[in-house]
Amino acid sequence: MNVTSTVVGYPYIGAKREWKRTLEKFWKNEITEEQFEAELKNLRINRLKHQKDLGLQFITVGDFTKYDRMLDLATMFNLIPKRYEALENPTANETYYAMARGAKDAVACEMTKWYNTNYHYIVPEYEGQSLTLNGNYILDQFLEAKNELGIIGKPTIIGPYTFVDLAKGYDEKTRAAFFLQLIPLYSQIIKELVTAGADWIQVEEPSLTKSLAEEEILIVEELYKQINEAVPEAKILVQTYFEALTSFERLSRLPVAGIGLDFVHGGKENIKALQNYGFPQNKTLSLGIINGRDIWSANLAEAISTINAVKQLSNAEEIWISSSCNLQHVPVSKKMEENLPQELYDHLAFADEKIREIAEITYYIEKGAWLKEGVVADSLKAIEALAIHPIRKNKVVDDALKLLTAKDFARSVPFSERQQIQKEALQLPDYPTTTIGSFPQSQLVKKTRAAWRKNEISDEQYAQFVKEETARWIQIQEDIGLDVLVHGEFERTDMVEYFGEHLTGFAFTDFAWVVSYGSRCVKPPIIYGDVEWTHEMTVKEVAEAQQLTNKYVKGMLTGPITILNWSFVRNDIPRQEVAYQIGLALRKEVAALEAAGIKIIQVDEPALREGLPLRKENWNEYLTWAVDAFKLATSSVATDTQIHTHMCYCEFNDFIDPIRALDADVISLETSRSHGELIHSLKANPYELGIGLGVYDIHSPRVPTIEEISHILNESLAVIPKEQFWVNPDCGLKTRQEPETVASLKNMVQAAHKLRQQPATI
C-alpha cells in the first residue's frame, strides 16, 4: 500500500501577515501593479518551499488567492456582473477588487460565511452571462511551482457543484444552463493541467457533505460523468470536508480516481459508511485525520488507531494522510508564541505543527516506527498536563451551572407586553437610528493602544485617551443626529478578544492570525479553561459616555455563541457547557450595566449561524443550546430594559425560528448586499419583534447616497411595521475611515428623517 502526506490547502496569509500587507499597499497605491504581482509571486514561492521543508510529500498548489478563491473562479469564468461595465478601462485587478470591495459607482458582490466557519467568501453572481475562460490561474500556479522549484504539485480547484451551490442569481431553469456552461470550462482547466504534467487534480466539493435530494445526486453524477468523458486521462480526487460525505454508496463511486473524506468532523459517519458500503476498488482515499479547524495537538495514538480501522474497512491500495480541510482556518505556526502558559503551548498545533504531525503519522504507517523517538508519549503528556490543570477545575463555575433552572432562560414578560412598556419608557421617535457599536479605529487609536500595551504610557493616560475619543464621537453622533448612541468601543481591539481578556479561562496569542474576509485578519482567543466573570468589563466606558448626552447610549456586549464560535475552544468538554459558562458570565455583566442605569443593552450574536451542522436535520440540538445560552445572558433584565442583538449574513428564510426564539427586543441584520432576498423572506415569514435591516454596506469604502438608502427603507416598509422598524448600517464601523463613516451616517439619518415625513404606508 502506498502512503503519501499532503494537506487540502495551506494558509496564504503568511506567518507575519505578509500577504495582508502586500494587498493593502497595493490598494493604497504604495506599490505598482507590477511590484504587487512580484511580491505575491515571492510569497507563493516561499510558502511552497516552507511546506517542502516541513516534510510534506504532496504539496497543494492553486490554494493561493488575491482575495478569495470563489472570486478567483468567478473572474476566471468571466462571471462578472453587468454593473462593473461602468468602470472606466479597468485592469483585471481593478475589476477583481471592485467586485470584492465595491467601486464608486458599483456596489460590491455579496459576502457570506464559508459553510460553518468564520471565513467569508464572495458570492458569484450569475446573470445568464456567456461564460468563458479568462486564463487559467491554477495552471499558472502549477507551472510556477514546477518551473521555479521543481515541485509537481497537486492543483486544487473548488468543484463545479459547490461553485454553483454557493453562487446566486439563477432559478431552477437557468441553473441547468449555468452547469452546462461550466462543465467544458472545468474540463478545459483539468485538461491543461494534465497536459502540463499534473499527476493529480484535487477538486474540492464540500457541498457534497450537505443533505442532497435525489435530483441533486443525479446532477453530481452527471457532472463528473461528463468531465470524465472529456478528460478520461485525468486523475481527479474529489475532496470533501466539514462533515461526512452524503449518499456515500453512490457518491463514493463517482467516475474519479480518488475521494477525500473528513475523519475529524465526519469521522463516525464516514466510518459507518465504510462498514456498510465498503470503498470502491482502485480508488485512492485521502484520509483527513488531522483537524484543520482547531489548534490542539493530535492524539497520535488515536489517529493511528483510526487510520488502521479505515485501512481495514476500505482496502484502499493508496492512502493520503491529510488535514481534515484547508489549514487556512488555523494560524501558520506557534513558533513565535513566547507568552503562553507552558502547559497550553505544549498542547498547541498550528498549520506547521499539523504538517509535522501528518509527516509523523505517514512515516509510521509506512515504516512501522516513529520519525522522532518518544513523540507519542510527548503528545499524551501534553494532553494530560492541561486536562488536570486547575484552570479546568473551577468549582464556582461548576456549581453555578448545576443550579440553573428553566426560569434562568426566559424573560418574565412576553414581547407583546414589553414593546408597549419600552415605548413609553424610552420615548424614541419613529424609525429610530443607531449604529451597530464600533467606530473607526484610527491610526491614533491603534498607536496609543500599542504604546499602552508596551508600557510606554500609563493606565491613567490610556484611560484618559479613551475617554476623550469617546467624548469626541458622542459629539459627532449628536451632530449627525443619531437617536441611540454608542460609546464607540475604542478600548477594544476585537469584539471577542476584549471580553476574553477580562474573563477567566482565556489565553491570547501574539501572532496567531487567520483571515476573516479579504485582508481582514483576526487572532481568535483560546478558551482553554473554565470561564468565569470576576469584575465589570464595560460599565465604566459606557456609563461615562451616557453622562455626556441626554440620548440613550447602548451597552455593548458580544454574545456567548459568538465568543464561542470566534474562539478556538477546548475539546475536553461539550461546546454547550462552554457556551453556558460564557452565558453566565455575561449575565453578570448585563446586570452590572443595568445597575449603572443603561436602559438599552446590545448583546451581539453575529456568529450564531456559524455553529450549525451542514445538514439541516442536525440543526435542532445545536440551536436549542445556542439560543438558550443567549437567553441565559439576557433574560434577567427588567421589562423596560431593551435587549438588542446583531447578526451577520443570515439566510433569514430558513433561520427565522431561531432568531425569534432569541426573544431579543430588537435585532439588526447585516443585509445590504442581499437586501432584496431578505425582503422576499420577510414577505413569506413576517417577523413580530423589533428589527433593523442594514441599509448600507460597511465592508466597502463607498458612501451610499440618500436616495439609495431611502430606496432600501421604502422597500423594507413593505414588510416591517413602523412600530418595529429601526434604521442602522449593516455592521460595526471599526474598519472604516472617519470621513466616509460620518458622510454615510449623515445620509442614513437624512433618509430616516425623510421617511418620518412620508405618509404612513402600513
Which active-site residues does the annotation give?
Answer: 699
- Is 17 a known ligand-binding residue? yes
C-alpha separations of 30 from 20, 23, 399 in Å: 14, 10, 57
610 assigned binding-site residue? yes
Q: Is 63 annotated as a binding residue?
A: no
Residue 142 is inside which H or E element, if any?
helix 137-149
Q: Consult the annotation and say whether 436 binds a ligand.
A: yes
The answer on whether 19 is annotated among ligand-binding residues is: yes
Q: Please indicate if the annotation marks 367 as binding a ligand.
A: no
Residue 333, annotated as binding a ligand: no
**283 known member of a binding site:** no
Known binder of ligand: residue 109? no
Pairing between strand 690-694 and 725-728? parallel
What's the distance, CA 87 to chain centroid? Answer: 30
Instruction: Give the whole-angstrom CA distance, residue 360 versus residue 372.
Output: 8
Long-range contacts (CB closer than 8 Å, 24 or more residues apart) made by 111-115: 111/517, 111/649, 111/673, 111/699, 112/649, 112/674, 113/609, 113/610, 113/648, 113/649, 115/206, 115/242, 115/614
Where do runs of H (alpha helix) occur along 299-414?
300-314, 342-345, 351-367, 375-387, 395-402
Sequence-ordered list of residues with C-beta below 8 angstroms from that of 293, at least 6 positions apart, any chain: 117, 264, 265, 324, 325, 329, 330
Q: Where are the alpha helices (DSSP H) in 652-757?
A: 656-662, 675-684, 706-717, 738-757
650 among annotated binding-site residues: no
Distance CA 174, CA 159 (A): 19
468 labeled part of a ligand binding site: no
Is residue 42 part of an annotated ligand binding site? no
As a whole number of angstroms, the longest Cα–Cα distance in the chain is 80
**Sign of the CA dihedral 82, 83, 85, 90?**
negative
Q: Is 646 annotated as a binding residue?
A: yes
State yes or no: 731 annotated in a binding site: yes
SS3 for 19-78 is HHHHHHHHHCCCCCHHHHHHHHHHHHHHHHHHHHHCCCCECEECCCCCCCHHHHHHHHCC
Asked if residue 437 belongs to a known ligand binding site, the reply is: yes
Residue 521, marked binder: yes
Is 438 annotated for ligand binding? yes
Among candidate residues 296, 355, 288, 278, the one with its CA nearest the CA of residue 322: 288
18 labelled ligand-binding: yes
Is 120 labelled as part of a ligand binding site? no
Determine how many CB atoms are found less than 10 A away from the CB of residue 181: 18
Can you say which residues are annotated as belonging to the binding site for 5-methyltetrahydropteroyltri-L-glutamate?
A: 17-20, 113, 118, 520-521, 566, 610
Can you say which residues are annotated as belonging to the binding site for Zn(2+)?
A: 646, 648, 670, 731
Can you say which residues are annotated as belonging to the binding site for L-homocysteine?
A: 436-438, 489, 604
Can you say which residues are annotated as belonging to the binding site?
A: 17-20, 113, 118, 436-438, 489, 520-521, 566, 604, 610, 646, 648, 670, 731
Can you say which residues are annotated as belonging to the binding site for L-methionine?
A: 436-438, 489, 604
